[in-house]
Amino acid sequence: MLFRIERMRRDLLPGVWRVEEGSFAEPYPRWYFRALLEVSDFFYVALVEEGVAGYAVASREGDLLRILSIAVLPPFRRKGIGGALLSRILDEGKAIGLKGAILEAEVGNEAAKALYRSLGFAECGVRAGYYGSGRDAIVFRLNFQGAPDKKPFTSSMDPY
């Protein structure tokens, strides 16, 4: 499958909304993506011939990279798009000297958990009810200085 990763642009917002609405039962509101476009230096889209196939967005929190959201439309999943989007953001975080990255995945989302583990993330906690309706999140982290382990970050932003 041919796709390219590009920085998010305002004209791509409708495509990002389609991805969000096609990926989540409780999607983020449209204003959230407009706001992220204005403030995030880590916002990428995956483009295919048909348009936006996926997106990933993150923010810098102290010396950590917080992955805020990543999604790929169902017909384009398991084709390397999610990994490519996340890798681009992680590479940028490393390049500017951040110490690591953190993200959440719903406990039952096996595909997401497998992707994060394949990129070196390790489980470091659980956030009860994070997704509402009693759905918990597993917190994953990645230490950019070396292999992941269970030791906490030295960051003041680390929630654990």
- Could you list the active site residues? 104, 116
Q: Check residue 31 and report its DSSP letter.
A: H
Closest by CA to 42, choosing from 5, 77, 79, is 5
Question: What is the DSSP secondary-structure string of 82-117?
Answer: HHHHHHHHHHHHHHTT--EEEEEEETT-HHHHHHHH
Identify the sign of the CA torsion 91, 96, 98, 102: negative
How far, in Å, CA of 42 to CA of 44, rounded? 7
